[in-house]
Amino acid sequence: MTIDRLMEEARKFLEGPMNFVAAEDALRPDIAGMRIYDEPLFGVAPADDPLFAELRRPEVVHPEEMLPCDWVPGAKSVVSFFLPFTERVVSSNAEGTQTSEEWLHGRIEGQLAMAAFGERLKKFLEDEGFAAAFPTTDARFKMLEPYASNWSERHIAYICGLGTFGLSKGLITERGMAGRFGSIVTDAELAPTPRKYSGPFDYCTKCGACQFRCPAKAIDKSRGPALAKDQKLCDAWVTSTKRPPHGPHERVRFGCGKCQVRVPCSRRIPNAAKK
């Protein structure tokens, strides 16, 4: 098994209907048919990478963080993926403090697409004869505390070589941070992705652009990168954006994402942080 085969399967999925806003869901007529995600990034780490155990440190994630072997006995690889939002989704959210309708679709329909994407990759591996788990939709996934789960996708992406954290707690990849993360644990043996960094904030220049973009005033770089974001202030703001369904089949929508757009790390690694 090679990562190229997973990428081929991923491309097929992203050309399908789940990656486009359906007319019946569109908040405006011109959003119908909008593509949500561009081509994904993949990263792989061996399941026995010692960094997974580091996630059990209380100051990192939580002592009850599950290990790859807890999801799949005999696990050999963890595959992390990043689905970057399209330019239309990102640029639509650049102005003002109100969340754009395109971004709301990325947040809600995008989450549904991400879940279906992970399920498709899981089934592909199983059809090839491998065991696989997709924690996002697995019944064993749970929140342990208000801001800690038993499988942190951003930390998994860091271990798998996809990127490092920013002041906003988003993960900066070579295609920026505006998008969604997921992962697959499997007993297929895949070649690991080299980590091009040594520390958790290497790609962040600490410029503070996200601080000034945040409408909730939840980011303060003076507290240092690990403590810069006040998650409670962020969550309170996002909760305030909830909008009721506009029809009998409409979904509740909420989101923000202002710290992920019109900042140097929105769509790339900032030049000053590149090695």
Task: Output the pLDDT for position 244.
Answer: 78
The percent of residues in the chain predicted with pLDDT above 70, rounded, is 97
- As given in the structure block, the two tokens for residue 85 are 């939002």
Judged against a pLDDT cut of 60, whether residue 275 lies above it is answered with no
pLDDT 10s digits, 65-92: 999 999 999 999 999 999 999 999 999 9
Name which residue leads in pLDDT, 252 or 191: 191
Residue 247 pLDDT > 80: no
DSSP 3-state helix, strand, coil percentages of the chain (rounded to 5)? Answer: 35, 15, 50
pLDDT tens for each residue of 38-60:
999 999 999 999 999 999 999 99
Residue 248 has pLDDT above 90, yes or no: no
Residue 232 has pLDDT above 90, yes or no: yes
Question: Can you read off the two tokens belonging to residue 98?
Answer: 């109100």
Span 123-173, pLDDT tens digits:
999 999 999 999 999 999 999 998 899 999 999 999 999 999 999 999 999
Residue 31 sits in which domain range?
3-273
pLDDT at 250: 77
Residues 6+ apart with CB under 8 A from 210: 166, 167, 168, 219, 259, 260, 263, 265
Structure tokens at 2: 């090679």
| pLDDT at residue 249 greater than cutoff 70 | no
Residue partners of 273: CB distance under 8 A and separation at least 6:
172, 202, 203, 204, 205
From the list 121, 153, 148, 120, the residue with the least C-alpha distance to 136 is 153
Give how many domains the chain has, as a whole number.
1
pLDDT digits (tens, 9 = 90+) for 7-23: 999 999 999 999 999 99
Strands 77-84 and 41-46: antiparallel
